[in-house]
């Protein structure tokens, strides 16, 4: 047998081995997916033991045409200007239904285009559009902070209610965007409002399992945010006009 024939034989054998491994893998996945109880166990325990593996942060941001050059939809097109862009799934949303899990204390770090000592806060939540739970992290700096603080003022009476104190994560929140003018042009900022019934009472989580899920996520994202702040990560901040607020005016300290 020539050297050339021997090379082709080894290549064929390798391809056969790869095909067999792929078939075994597909058979295993099929067996798991056909067993509803086992499939549920897999989903419920997907992150067990892998909490410290490095992965992409589930970042949510507002797409700004001409500025957010890294944002791309699954079909390769650019998101619509002013829409929310969810990086993990490359989805865009005109508006979001969500629950706010936690809002960080303020911290200072270097920001966009070399700006120094910029005041920042981080919000973590869960998107519920389409009935799915999608965790996200969103950075707030500059003029975006104003609406974040307004949300805090709106939420505070519910969490401190004497009749029934309501955890922040149990409130349903609607997120939209608006374009705000400033000295350097204009920027898209998020607008967040607690969803309420006609009588002014807030829309709440009424499913015990959903409540428990959201509560369980709070501690997880708190640890993630603490790590972000300790490393003073400001990657991918959107452009904005920076402000230096009075700490006494910040409702999340």
Per-residue confidence band for 135, with pLDDT thresholds at 50, 70 and 90: very high
The full DSSP string for 100-142 is EEEEPPPEEE--GGG--SEEEEEEEEEE-GGG--EEEEEEEET
Tens-place pLDDT, residues 59-90: 999 999 888 778 999 999 999 999 999 999 99
pTM (2 d.p.): 0.68
Alpha-carbon distance of 124 to 2, in angstroms, equals 63
Q: Is the pLDDT of residue 235 over 50?
A: no
Neighbours of 158 (CB within 10 A): 19
What pLDDT is attached to residue 222? Answer: 84
Query: Within 10 A of 95 (CB to CB), how many other CB atoms are there?
Result: 13
Q: Between these two residues, 71 and 30, which has the higher pLDDT value? A: 71
The answer to whether 180 and 186 have CB atoms below 8 angstroms apart is yes
């Amino acid at each position: 047998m020539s050297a050339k024939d021997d090379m082709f034989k080894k290549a064929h054998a390798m391809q056969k081995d790869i095909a067999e491994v792929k078939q075994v893998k597909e058979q295993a996945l099929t067996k798991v997916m056909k067993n509803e109880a086992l499939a549920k166990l897999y989903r419920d325990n997907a992150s067990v033991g892998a909490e410290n593996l490095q992965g992409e942060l589930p970042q949510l941001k507002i797409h700004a045409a001409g500025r957010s050059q890294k944002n791309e939809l699954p079909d390769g097109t650019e998101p619509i200007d002013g829409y929310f862009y969810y990086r993990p799934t490359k989805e865009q949303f005109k508006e979001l239904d969500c629950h706010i899990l936690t809002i960080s204390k303020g911290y200072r770090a270097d920001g966009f285009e070399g700006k120094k000592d910029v005041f920042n806060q981080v919000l973590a939540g869960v998107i519920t559009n389409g009935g799915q739970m999608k965790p996200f992290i969103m950075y707030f700096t500059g003029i975006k902070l104003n609406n974040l603080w307004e949300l805090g003022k709106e939420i505070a009476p519910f969490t401190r209610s004497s009749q029934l104190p309501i955890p922040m994560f149990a409130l349903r929140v609607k997120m939209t965007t608006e374009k705000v003018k400033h000295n350097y042009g204009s920027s898209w900022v998020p607008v967040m409002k607690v969803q309420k019934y006609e009588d002014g009472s807030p829309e709440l989580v009424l499913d015990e399992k959903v409540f428990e899920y959201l509560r369980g996520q709070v501690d997880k994202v708190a640890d993630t945010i603490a790590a972000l702040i300790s490393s003073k990560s400001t990657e991918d901040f959107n452009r904005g006009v920076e402000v230096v607020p009075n700490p006494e005016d910040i409702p999340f300290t």
